[in-house]
Amino acid sequence: MLVKKIYWSVLCFSLSLTLAACGGGTQPQTGASSNKPVEIGGEYLSTTTADPKTFNTALAQETSSTGPLSLVFEGLVSENGLTAEVEPELAEKWEISKDGKRVVFTLREGLKWSDGAPLTADDVLFTFNDVYFNLDIPTDSRDSLRIGNKQELPKLEKVDARTIAFNLPEPFAPFMRSIGLPILPKHILEKTVKETNSKGEPNFLTTWAIDTDVKKIVGNGLYVFQEYVPGQRIRYQINPNYWRKDKEGRQQPYITNRTIQIVPNIDATLLKFQSGQSDAYGLRGEDFELLKPKEKEGGYTVYNGGPDFGELFVAFNLLQGKNPANKKPFVDPIKSSWFNNVKFRQAIAYALDRQTMLDNIYRGLGALQDSPISVPSPFFLKPEDGLPAYTFNIEKSKALLKQAGFLLGGDGKLKDKNGNLVRFTLVTNTENSDRAKLAAQMKADLQKIGITLDVLPLNFNTIVKKLDVTHDWDMVLIGFTGGIEPNGGANLWRTDGQLHLYNAQPNVVDKQRYKIKDYAGRVIAPWEKEVDQIFIKGSQELDESKRKEYYKRFQIIIQEQVPVIHLLNNLSLTAVRNRVQNVKYTALGGTRWNFYEQFITPTP
């Protein structure tokens, strides 16, 4: 699947499986080599620290779901992990009209679903028209394909059984990097879209949930599901109807089985790798000095893909709306008044000692992150080129708080102008020990300016529910995956984006249930509206130099307004066992972008 939109990330640097969506950089680190004769068969073992939330790829919003599903579903195009170029996948070719408003895709001949049914243009039309563009289905996939001021979606046209035309209302620069969404089987899912439950919601919303018999899931990718045991493992076997073959006509992928082991935390993933029960492991900073010296005796290679594409940040809950279920504010109004004060947010940013976080927790293997665009992207703006940055400065922090009306008492406690003690809660996921350490340092840092920060570790899927459904949180420490194309982040940064976590709009289900367009009392700030317009204009502009100017302004706005505080950008480091051959590692593609051509040699 083309890496094109932002997902919530449970652990970008530890999920071996999902590094394709968590990566960055373009320089390959090729290890155990492709010079050996190809071996057919074997089993690839990896780990993850969270169960999937769904097996429905249209509804998946987090890497614990999108990662496992990326082995089972493919799109029309994909992204080359070495060159970052858009390449054919289910489509063998495409043609773009001179005015850029019509793109015609031709599917490969003889495509089949894993159950043997033909994959045709009808499946593509169904996937986009009936699922991704269906306003009754809460998928964030729509966000990166909305075009122009009217936010129109492309209109599809079936030319013949293998040919589909996408007609755009205007030229759309990010189109080819936004169209690689997984194609879904019409013959399996059409009924679930048309039929509704007692609430009038499509049955599709509960189709392929985690209680599904995974053997019944029909895909078009490298593998099919064989087994899912919650809290233990996800097993795959090769899809016998997968389209890809090598030059000698041999079926790909060469590795016939795959197992993702579900473990409780990152330390458990490390133990699995050290004991030989996993073929790949995404390194934390502390792991590098442990694993790098033992490469030869351990029979593995540590790959360094350069700066990661992931973003790690803390976000404030700026939502001022009321919960339609109980008519109460989502956020305590006292806390909300703090969070919606830009000087308060800036003061917090200055109070966080990010360099110490980088040095102590990441062992210096990375850099400070100051931008909402990933470091390896050509659209990334450096601080020396005008990007505002928050270098640790307690005095600046205290001065901003004073300007905002906060008072630091003789007891060392900060109070607002009404005498309320400044205390709030940070949530982060229990599976990630590095984030626990970051949260602990944040707590100590904020204590220095009189703020009491309570840290609440939660299961990752519980956090996602808070962000996406209940909105009952103060501050969150979380990671997102990223990519080269800034418009891939539209679902996070636009006010109508499904992942606009810091000032969330109602999800589709709530809009239907409560018959509302927006939450009562939700306020959209002028700077948020300007960001909306930047994403529209940036997608309309075909001249890349002019596009860079739009996204430069976007980055400056986010850093000035700090709805989120960007923390660190780690290096993309992964250890892979040498029995896995033909690994072409980059931070952009990770370990799995060319998995179809990797193979396993027998252990001596």
Instruction: Give the mean model confidence (pLDDT) for residues 164-181.
Output: 96
Q: What is the CB neighbour count within 10 angstroms for residue 141? A: 24
**Residue 23: pLDDT over 60:** no
Comparing 379-393, 434-448, 509-523, 540-554, which segment has the lowest mean pLDDT?
A: 509-523
Q: Which residues contact 38 (CB under 8 A, 6 or more apart)?
A: 246, 250, 254, 599
For residues 406 and 344, is the Cβ–Cβ distance under 8 A? Answer: yes
Instruction: Give the mean model confidence (pLDDT) for residues 158-184.
Output: 96
Enumerate domains of the chain plus CATH numbers: 311-320+327-504+563-569 (3.10.105.10)
pLDDT confidence bin for 162, thresholds 50/70/90: very high
Task: Tell me how far apart the alpha carbons of residues 105 and 91 are, in angstroms, rounded to a whole number.
Answer: 6
What's residue 169's pLDDT?
A: 96
> Percent of the chain having pLDDT more than 90?
82
pLDDT confidence bin for 500, thresholds 50/70/90: very high
What's residue 2's pLDDT?
A: 43
Tokens of 340: 């919606």
Comparing 4-13, 37-46, 169-178, 218-227, which segment has the lowest mean pLDDT?
A: 4-13
Give the tens place of pLDDT for each residue, 429-456: 988 889 999 999 999 999 999 999 999 9
Q: Which of 209, 428, 334, 79 is nearest to 217 (CA)?
A: 209
pTM (2 decimals)? 0.83
For residues 87 and 232, is the Cβ–Cβ distance under 8 A? Answer: no
Q: Which of 303, 264, 239, 254 is nearest to 111 (CA)?
A: 239
Task: Tell me how far apart the alpha carbons of residues 451 and 46 are, in angstroms, rounded to a whole number.
Answer: 41
Instruction: Give the mean model confidence (pLDDT) for residues 96-109.
Output: 96
pLDDT confidence bin for 34, thresholds 50/70/90: low
**Residue 497: pLDDT over 70:** yes
Under DSSP, is residue 33 helix (H, G, I), strand (E, B) or coil?
Answer: coil
Q: What is the mean pLDDT of the chain?
A: 91
**Residue 375: pLDDT over 80:** yes
What's residue 604's pLDDT?
A: 55
DSSP characters over 40-81: P--EEEEEESS--S-S-TTT--BHHHHHHHTTT---SEEE-T
Measure the CA angle with vertex 586, ends 592 and 49; round to 5°: 50
> Percent of the chain having pLDDT more than 70?
94
DSSP characters over 508-571: HHHHHHHT-SS-TT----HHHHHHHHHHHHHHH---HHHHHHHHHHHHHHHHHH-SEEE-EEEE
Comparing 135-149, 323-337, 582-596, which segment has the lowest mean pLDDT?
A: 135-149
Task: Tell me how far apart the alpha carbons of residues 399 and 112 are, in angstroms, rounded to a whole number.
Answer: 64
Instruction: Give the mean model confidence (pLDDT) for residues 468-480.
Output: 94
What's residue 45's pLDDT?
A: 98
Give the tens place of pLDDT for each residue, 344-373: 999 999 999 999 999 999 999 999 999 999
What's residue 603's pLDDT?
A: 67
pLDDT confidence bin for 18, thresholds 50/70/90: very low
Give the tens place of pLDDT for each residue, 72-88: 999 999 999 999 899 99
Task: Tell me how far apart the alpha carbons of residues 116 and 109 are, in angstroms, rounded to a whole number.
Answer: 14
